[in-house]
């Protein structure tokens, strides 16, 4: 059984037991999370596709970690003009373990 879930403007294909990294969600480690925006649910060859979401379907998970990704360097410059700009960025994420798919 698997489902396609939308969160943070992205879509994820998940199964029970999967660990996924999503855009930062409110909550702390150990909290439960419920995704109601389920686009597709597949169970034993029976596929339910929503328009846009499957009614009554949900995916439950547990927050394992709140963290930040590796730092990326953003460097801009214009040749022969003396313009240089160096910036760093670390994207926050939430690590979630999928526990239950209902649909």
The number of domains in the chain is: 1
Contact predicate 52/5, CB 8 Å: no
Q: Is residue 51 part of a domain?
A: yes
Write out the residue range of the structural domain in which residue 26 sits: 2-66+93-102
The pLDDT score that the predictor gives to residue 103 is: 80
The pLDDT score that the predictor gives to residue 58 is: 95
Q: Is residue 8 part of a domain?
A: yes
Q: What is the value of pTM for the model shown? A: 0.84
Q: Which residues of the chain have pLDDT under 70?
A: none
- The token duo for 61 is 């998970």
The pLDDT score that the predictor gives to residue 41 is: 96
Q: Got the DSSP string for 20-88?
A: EEEE--S--TT-EEEE--EEEEEETTEEEE-SSS-TT-EEEEEEEEEEE---EEEEEEETTTTEEEEEE
Q: Is residue 32 part of a domain?
A: yes
Q: Is residue 79 part of a domain?
A: no
């Amino acid at each position: 059984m698997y489902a396609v879930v939308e969160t943070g403007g992205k879509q994820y294909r998940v199964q029970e037991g999967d660990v996924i990294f999503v855009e930062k969600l409110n909550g702390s480690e150990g909290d439960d999370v419920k995704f109601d925006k389920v686009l597709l649910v597949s169970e034993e060859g029976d596929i339910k596709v929503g328009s846009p979401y499957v009614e009554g379907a949900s995916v439950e998970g547990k927050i394992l970690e709140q963290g930040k990704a590796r730092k990326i360097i953003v460097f801009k410059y214009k040749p022969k003009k003396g313009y240089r700009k160096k910036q760093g960025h670390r994207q926050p994420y939430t690590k979630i373990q999928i526990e239950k798919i209902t649909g």
